Structure formats: structure tokens, C-alpha cells
Amino acid sequence: MTYCRKQLDSRPHPPDALRATAGDSEDTIEDNQAPPTVALPQDRSTDRPTHTPRGARSGDHPGRPGALPPAPGRPSSILASPATPVVLLLVLAVVSWQVAVTGPLLTVDHTIRDAVTHARHAADSAALNRLAQFCSDLGDGVVAVPVLLCAGVLAAWRLRRTGPAPAPRRWWLPLPTAALTALLIPLLVVPAKAYFARPGPLGLPLVPGQWGWYPSGHTSTACIAYGAGALLVGRTLRATARRVLSVATAVLGLGVGLGLIWCDYHWFLDVLAGWCLSGLVIWASRRALTRLLPSAR
């Protein structure tokens, strides 16, 4: 009996402080009462609870769903979508094939031309004709290319003065970008015009050494020059101003193409090919500038 009592007394016992704490907890927590809430540990880098619910996380981009790091949200524009170049390239390939083989798709050109001719005669508006001519002239390289070069100078100046880091180290980048884009326009358009050698809407045959009408050079020049200029300047603007500039540039490119069709300078498919070609160039330029030049918030 003495040996058993010694064995029982030799069992480890919790310290007195722990027994007191446990006793106090049992006394204070009544039956059917939830235990007290324990403060959650805070993450030192974010000052948030370590298991913040996903819906409460804002990440680095307010307004977008995500965790830390944030998951990508919806594309900020049509050009940000990976499907954009696929669609543009597909449309350009189909239209070019139909122009090369004089396929049935060309009947769309004649249908649209007849409708535009009828609308022009019905409107009989000198002001509307002058507006269409003005929009067409905006696609001339004498007008569009200087605008592109000036946009490159303006973007470089703004990056030099107010651009976010590391932009000041690359403030000069818009200058060669604008110059190379200006050189790229004829390199893309002129060989295509010479290859397809498509007659214009008036039906006059091409003379030796004359380029064809497909794709539309004025449409391509306007959309690429003004679009690239807007991308360069847009890297120095806030998000709202950048969106306004993008919409205005798209409306301008649309106006140039419609003006060419209204004035009977180009077939519709010529203009459509110019839009697709320009869209591919602007899409690639946007991806490159996004990596090389940080934009203002």
C-alpha cells in the first residue's frame, strides 16, 4: 500500500500557475457560452490577419479580385485580350485571300458602295462631304507621321519630368519608338499594295508602276500613327485620361476609314484590312510598352 501510494504521488502534476489559470477559465466560462475570442496574429508585411477571407483582400490593384499576390481581373481594354490578335489575323487572312482570288466576298464591296452612293446623293450635303474629305486627309502621311513624331517627343519630355521610376532612366525610349513606327508603316503597306494590285472603286485600270488600293494606306497610316502616338503619350497619363485618349483615337481611325468609303476613294474591304493590320501593330506595341515603360496610376 505504501509503495502504491508513492507511485501515485510520483505522477507529474501541472504547475500551480497553470492549475490556477485552468481553474479560472473553467469558472468564468459557463455552460453553453462560447469561449472568448483570441486575437489573430498579424502578418508583419501587410498588417492583416494571416487568413483574411479572399473577398476582403484587395491586393496591389484596388477594384480587382484576388489574393496576395492578386489574381488577374478582367482585361482593361480590348487590346489586352489575348483573343484580339487571333481575330484580327483571321479576318485579315480571309479578306486577303478573297481579294487575291476575286472571291464572292467582294460582292460586299459592291453592295456597300451602292448603298453609300445612294446615301450621298440623297443627303446632298456639302458640309457632310467636306467632313468626309477632312477625315480622309487625316490619313495622309504628311499629317499623321508628324503627329506621331510630336507625340514621341511629348511622351519623352513628360517621362523625363514626371514619369514614375524606372521611367526616368528610359525617358528617351518614345523617341526611337515613334521613329521606327513611322518607318514601319510603308514597309507593311507598300509591298501589300504592289502584290495585290487591286483596282479602286472607280474601276480604272492600274498603270505600270502604280500601287493597288488594297489595303488602304490612309487607313493604316492614320490608325498606326495616331494609335502609337496615343500609346506613347498615354504612358504618362492617369488611367482616366488614358482611356479618354484611347477612345478618341479609335473614333479618329474609324472616321478616317468611313471618310474614305464615303468619298469613293476605297472599297470597304480595303479599309477593313487597314483596320486589322493597324490593330495588330497597336496590339504588339502596347504589349512592348507595357513591359518597358510603367504607366502613371
Residue 207's pLDDT is what?
83
Measure the CA dihedral 244/249/254/260, to 10°. Answer: 150
Residue 69's pLDDT is what?
46
Residue 6's pLDDT is what?
45
Taking alpha carbons only, the member of 283, 139, 133 closest to residue 219 is 139
Range of the domain at 239: 127-197+211-297
Q: Is residue 38 part of a domain?
A: no
Low-confidence ranges of the chain (pLDDT < 50): 1-10, 14-32, 43, 45, 57-75, 167
Residue 171's pLDDT is what?
83
Q: pTM value?
A: 0.73
Residue 211's pLDDT is what?
87
Question: Which distant-in-sequence residues (6+ apart) come within 8 Å of 108 by Cβ?
Answer: 268, 269
Residue 161's pLDDT is what?
81
Residue 278's pLDDT is what?
96
Residue 20's pLDDT is what?
44
Q: Is residue 161 part of a domain?
A: yes
Q: Is residue 259 part of a domain?
A: yes
- C-beta separation of 212 from 193 below 8 A: yes
Give CA–CA dist 224/160, Å, rounded: 24
Residue 72's pLDDT is what?
45
Q: Is residue 34 part of a domain?
A: no
Residue 166's pLDDT is what?
53
* Per-residue pLDDT tens digits for 27-64: 444 444 555 555 555 545 455 555 555 555 444 444 44
Taking alpha carbons only, the member of 223, 224, 229, 234 closest to residue 290 is 234
Q: Is residue 281 part of a domain?
A: yes
Q: Is residue 3 part of a domain?
A: no
Task: Please state the separation of Cα 228 from the chain's center in Å.
Answer: 12
Residue 59's pLDDT is what?
46
Q: Is residue 36 part of a domain?
A: no
Specify the number of domains making up the chain. 1
Give CA–CA dist 268/273, Å, rounded: 9
Q: Is residue 205 part of a domain?
A: no
